[in-house]
Amino acid sequence: MTETTSSDNPAIVRPATCDDLPALESLIAEFVKANRLLPRTPDELQDLVPFGFVACHGTRLVGFAALEIYSSKLAEIRSLAVLPDMQNKGLGKQLVQACVDLAHSRNILEVMAITSSDEFFRNCGFDFTLPGEKKALFIQTREEA
């Protein structure tokens, strides 16, 4: 477990458990309403828990991120969310680092993040390209809702 450096808001980041699911559903729902995250079904969240981390302030769950492992070469940071009143305290960065550390411990070569907050991820050490100028390209196959 890791403690934040903020003395006025001590919080920990720890592995997620199935007991966290009700609070995770509420947390994710807030970000879905604000169009900051894609919706997750309870089953999808349950699948993310074994590779997820939560940030807790006392008994309150205030953040979440998970690592979705695609192969030994690639994983993705999924569902990163920190409640607005707990942002800018280092919790998001700790959640991302916990996911990166998990990927490293499993010898996964690359971790990606699909985000609208590219500056945050760049501050966490992510970049737009990988060595050798690898880039992710996308095509949308359906219209947005």
pLDDT digit string, tens, across residues 71-120? 999 999 999 999 999 999 999 999 999 999 999 999 999 999 988 788 88
Split into its structural domains, the chain has a count of: 1
The C-alpha angle 36, 103, 56, rounded to 5 degrees, equals 55
Encode pLDDT of 12-24 as tens digits. 999 999 999 999 9
Residues 6 or more apart in contact with residue 114 via CB below 8 angstroms: 76
Tell me the backbone φ, ψ of residue 57, rounded to 5 degrees: -115, 100
56 within some domain: yes
Tell me the backbone φ, ψ of residue 44, rounded to 5 degrees: -65, -45
145 within some domain: no
41 within some domain: yes
73 within some domain: yes
30 within some domain: yes
Q: Is the dihedral of CA 78, 82, 84, 87 positive or negative?
A: negative
Q: Could you tell me the pLDDT band of residue 9, with boundaries at 50, 70 and 90? A: low
135 within some domain: no
102 within some domain: yes
Query: What is the extent of the structural domain holding 45?
Result: 2-123
CA distance 61 to 38: 19
CATH number at residue 51: 3.40.630.30
139 within some domain: no
